[in-house]
Amino acid sequence: MTSLTSKLRRVFGRRFTAWSAACAIVLVSAASAEACPMCKAALGSGAERFINAWGLSIVFMLSMPFVLAGSFSAYMYVLVRRARAEQAAKQAGLSLAANEGQGETSP
């Protein structure tokens, strides 16, 4: 095993040591990460206010992508409406100028 480690160290240099340390940290912390889904169960013993807040925070987190997409869509809709209104105003202004020009040349 030592020869394999030395060969890997020669090939990958310090990266091998960094990856080994990262893998060790992940493996050691896996037990504490396993407990995270149990937070609600731990608060279930008479902490009704905390459970409601926890559920509400989940609703806010789930709704945020829809709020962002909706806001972006509404902004784009307003921009398109303004551009169309400006374009219609320019065309109306050009047609008025064309009509005024025709009225002056006709007897």
Residue-range domain boundaries for the chain: 1-34
- Which pTM does this prediction carry? 0.45
Share of the chain above pLDDT 70, in %: 51
Distance CA 57, CA 64 (A): 11
**Exposed / middle / buried, residue 9 (Cβ in 10 Å: 0-12, 13-18, 19+):** middle
The string of pLDDT tens digits covering residues 46-92 is 667 777 777 888 888 999 999 999 999 999 999 999 999 999 988 88
Choose the most confident range, by mean pLDDT, from 18-22, 38-42, 90-94, 103-107: 90-94
Which two three-digit tokens encode residue 91?
Answer: 């065309």
Q: At what angle do helices 14-34 and 2-12 cross, to 10 degrees?
A: 110
